[in-house]
């Protein structure tokens, strides 16, 4: 009996559930799917400066093993047989893990990061490592070119940045080079590229996902998360990568069970927001699109509660913590002078300056952080979720230094200003979904929830996506592009 075949034009932007169904119905084999995405990743990835290293050869071998099980109906998870790629700060056994930086270009580990072992154990197929901002942005950086592979280019318009520091992960998923990718966030490094590239990005609760085998930047802030097509896709991947790991001292010892049918009556939810976040804080050209996005949020029928974040200096606090912890992580790099071989002069200067932080500076920041966490616990006793624009501006140009001119914002604050920094300081989860387009570039909506309430957060994000089609739109000509 002839095996049914799949229309390959469907593959680049298919969801995990769609790809899994095609594999189980034998419309396509894992090896065929791996060859398809592997070819796209190798041929198109360098055009976005997104590919750090191809692992397609070993991926094909793993795909043959997956096909052996699929043919015998030994079904494991929805990820079985589906290709993926990871940010190049995650260790892959016997392959370079560069951390996006020249001093580590030949660094090789003899083990896999825990998240990779967990994905591989389900039959998921690793086909590549993706570019990133060098050292995940430690010390700060002044342009998109702060990467070993060059500036991450946005698939919607290559003149613009794909976002950092998970720049390659954002571009690769948006361009249909892989169905999903892993990234990391310390303060916005999943949310920003997902927003700029028009895809869905999920940052989990601190400690839910093991960081064993990941480059540390800030031990008390780093999180591994997912960039994918939809909220459900992110939940499916999180289901596999979450869980206790004794090799990560910060592991929360909790697992995540993604419930695709999870439902809570949305009218019972209290959703914190601020009108000013949508009407006055975004750059003026973005405001009509954000007004439309807010109307979709309101159409869900939840109780919309006008909210303000507690008043704290979120930026300086998280900056002091990241810089202090990064100084300890990269002390040898800085003192040896190897730091001077980084691509970004501003980052070199920032890392050197990080050594001047004192224990007093760090402990003051950590004390304020404790106050912030207490205040946010009180905030989430009044609302179930927070919603705001993910970014108030479109991405910077990829070929120019970032515009350091402070944007003009109103004095009044709502939820959006400080939401990324504050939620990272509190270690709570967030998800960003595409919510419109301005000048041909995507904009995003972020949804933030209490610790370990990823299912609630994903359910609300999924409902937004059920009521819109922004996540179904893709960069022109990339679906049918022959490689």
Which residue did the predictor score with more confidence, 257 or 247?
247
State the pLDDT at residue 472. Answer: 97
What angle, 0 to 180 degrees and rounded to 10, lies between the N-to-C axes of helices 30-44 and 56-71?
160
Beta strand pairing call for 441-448 and 83-87? unpaired
pLDDT (tens digit, 9 = 90+) per residue, 61-70? 999 999 999 9
SS3 340: helix
- Quick check: 480 pLDDT over 90? no
Average pLDDT over residues 423-441: 98
| Contact present, 76 and 122 (Cβ < 8 Å) | yes
- 3-class SS at 61? helix
Name the residue among 239, 163, 226, 220 with its Cα closest to residue 200: 226
How many C-beta neighbours within 10 Å does residue 265 have? 8
pLDDT band (50, 70, 90) for residue 2? very low
Q: What is the pLDDT of residue 263?
A: 60
Domain 8-266+451-472, second-level architecture = Alpha-Beta Complex (3.90)
pLDDT category of residue 397 using cuts at 50, 70 and 90: very high
> pLDDT tens digit string along 166-223?
999 999 999 999 999 999 999 999 999 999 999 999 999 999 999 999 999 999 999 9
pLDDT of residue 84: 98
At residue 42's C-alpha, the angle toward residues 41 and 44, to 5°, is 65
Residue 373 has pLDDT above 50, yes or no: yes
Structure confidence by residue, pLDDT tens digits, 296-345: 999 999 999 999 999 999 999 999 999 999 999 999 999 999 999 999 99
Decide: pTM greater than 0.85: yes
- The domains of the chain are located at 8-266+451-472
DSSP-assigned states of every residue in 163-218: -SSSHHHHHHHHTTSSS-EEEEESSSTTHHHHHHHTSEEEEPPTTTB--TTB--S-
């Amino acid at each position: 009996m002839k095996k049914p075949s799949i229309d390959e034009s469907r593959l680049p932007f298919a969801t995990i559930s769609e790809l899994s169904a095609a594999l189980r119905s034998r419309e396509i084999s894992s090896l065929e799917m791996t060859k398809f995405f592997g070819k796209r990743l190798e041929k198109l990835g360098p055009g976005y400066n997104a590919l750090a290293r191809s692992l397609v050869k070993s991926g094909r071998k793993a795909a043959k093993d997956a096909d052996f099980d699929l043919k015998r109906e030994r079904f494991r998870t929805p990820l079985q047989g589906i290709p993926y790629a990871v940010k190049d700060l995650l260790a892959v056994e016997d392959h370079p893990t560069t951390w996006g930086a020249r001093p580590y270009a030949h660094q090789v580990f003899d083990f896999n990061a825990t998240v990779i072992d967990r994905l591989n154990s389900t039959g998921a197929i690793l086909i590549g490592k993706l570019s990133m901002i060098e050292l995940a942005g430690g010390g700060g950086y002044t342009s998109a070119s702060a990467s070993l592979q060059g500036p991450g280019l946005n698939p919607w318009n290559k003149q613009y940045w794909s976002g950092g520091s998970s720049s390659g992960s954002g571009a690769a998923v948006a361009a249909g080079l892989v169905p999903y990718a892993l990234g990391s966030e310390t303060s916005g490094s999943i949310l920003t590229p997902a927003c700029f590239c028009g895809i869905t990005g999920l940052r989990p609760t601190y400690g839910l996902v093991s960081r064993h085998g990941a480059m540390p930047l800030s031990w008390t802030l780093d999180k591994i998360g997912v960039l994918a097509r939809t909220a459900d896709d992110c939940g499916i991947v999180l289901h596999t990568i979450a869980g206790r790991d004794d090799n990560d001292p910060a592991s929360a010892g909790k697992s995540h069970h993604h419930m695709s049918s999870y439902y809570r009556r949305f009218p019972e939810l209290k959703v914190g927001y601020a009108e000013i976040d949508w009407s006055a804080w975004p750059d003026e050209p973005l405001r009509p699109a954000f007004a439309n996005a807010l109307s979709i949020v309101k159409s869900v029928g939840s109780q919309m509660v006008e909210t303000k974040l507690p008043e704290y200096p979120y930026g300086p606090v998280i900056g002091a913590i990241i810089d202090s912890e990064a100084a300890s992580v990269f002390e040898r790099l800085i003192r040896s002078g190897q730091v001077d071989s980084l691509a970004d002069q501003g980052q070199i200067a920032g890392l050197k300056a990080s050594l001047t932080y004192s224990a007093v500076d760090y402990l003051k920041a950590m004390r304020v952080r404790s106050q912030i966490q207490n205040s946010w616990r009180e905030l989430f006793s009044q609302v179930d979720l927070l919603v705001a624009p993910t970014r108030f501006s479109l991405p910077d140009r990829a070929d120019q230094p970032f515009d350091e001119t402070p944007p003009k914002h109103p004095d009044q604050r709502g939820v959006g200003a400080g939401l990324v920094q504050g939620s990272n300081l509190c270690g709570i989860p967030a998800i960003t979904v595409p919510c419109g387009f301005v000048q041909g570039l995507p904009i995003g909506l972020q949804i933030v929830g209490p610790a370990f309430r990823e299912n609630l957060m994903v359910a609300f994000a999924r409902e937004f996506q059920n009521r819109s089609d922004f996540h179904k739109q893709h960069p022109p000509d990339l679906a049918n592009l022959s490689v």
